[in-house]
């Protein structure tokens, strides 16, 4: 279980930077491209699942969750918006935040679904809580230099943590 959590954390850290690869493809994509600022980059490890298993895809989804939920905090103007690729290169405007937050939620739900499948019981969801909270605090404070960003990253792991706590309490014999 420890090595699985370590793999999850390492891949999550790696994928923190993946959405911003659009900056290297500016002839095709605008910054905050709809293609890279979505759950889509998690398809890369998913395509290799037969060789590497599903855990890297879950790690990728956690890294994307943290990046996207932090980006959802910026005002939907200029580079803060989500943009369609060439030849359109149009911004989503007011829908940008909804797109980012919706995809962040999707990434988190898929990550915990995969981990639940790989580690029966509470170990899978507990690993998702630990890794997403830890990576989220790190990214929020170090990369975004914002306590608000770190706090927002804790919303989904917090909710999952509460549901784990409820399940644990239900398992305890009543006094």
Catalog residues that contact Zn ion under the rule CB under 5 A.
Answer: 19-20, 71
Give the distance, in angstroms, between the CA of residue 74 and the centroid of all CA atoms in the same chain. 17
Nearer to Zn ion, 10 or 20 (CB): 20
Name the minimum Å distance from CB 77 to Zn ion.
Answer: 15
Nearer to Zn ion, 20 or 122 (CB): 20
- The residues, any chain, with a CB within 8 Å of residue 127's CB and separated by 6 or more, are 1, 4, 5, 8, 115, 119
Name the minimum Å distance from CB 80 to Zn ion.
Answer: 10
Name the minimum Å distance from CB 70 to Zn ion.
Answer: 8
Name the minimum Å distance from CB 41 to Zn ion.
Answer: 11
Nearer to Zn ion, 53 or 80 (CB): 80
Distance CA 128, CA 136 (A): 11
Nearer to Zn ion, 119 or 132 (CB): 132
- The residues, any chain, with a CB within 8 Å of residue 37's CB and separated by 6 or more, are 19, 22, 67, 68, 71, 82, 99, 100, 103
C-alpha distances (whole Å) from 126 to each of 115, 160, 163 are 9, 8, 10
């Amino acid at each position: 279980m420890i090595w699985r959590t370590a793999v999850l954390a390492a891949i999550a850290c790696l994928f923190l930077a993946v959405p911003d690869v659009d900056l290297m493809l500016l002839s095709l994509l605008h910054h905050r491209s709809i293609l890279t600022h979505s759950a889509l980059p998690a398809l890369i490890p998913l395509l290799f699942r037969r060789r590497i298993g599903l855990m890297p895809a879950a790690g990728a989804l956690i890294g994307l969750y943290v990046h996207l939920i932090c980006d959802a905090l910026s005002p939907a103007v200029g580079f803060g918006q989500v943009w369609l690729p060439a030849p359109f290169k149009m911004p989503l405007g007011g829908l940008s935040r909804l797109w980012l937050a919706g995809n962040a939620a999707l990434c988190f739900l898929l990550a915990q679904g995969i981990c639940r499948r790989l580690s029966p019981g509470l170990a899978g969801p507990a690993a998702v809580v630990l890794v997403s909270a830890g990576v989220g605090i790190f990214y929020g404070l170090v990369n975004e230099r914002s306590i608000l960003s770190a706090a927002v990253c804790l919303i989904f792991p917090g909710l999952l943590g509460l549901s784990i706590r409820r399940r644990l309490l239900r398992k305890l014999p009543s006094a």
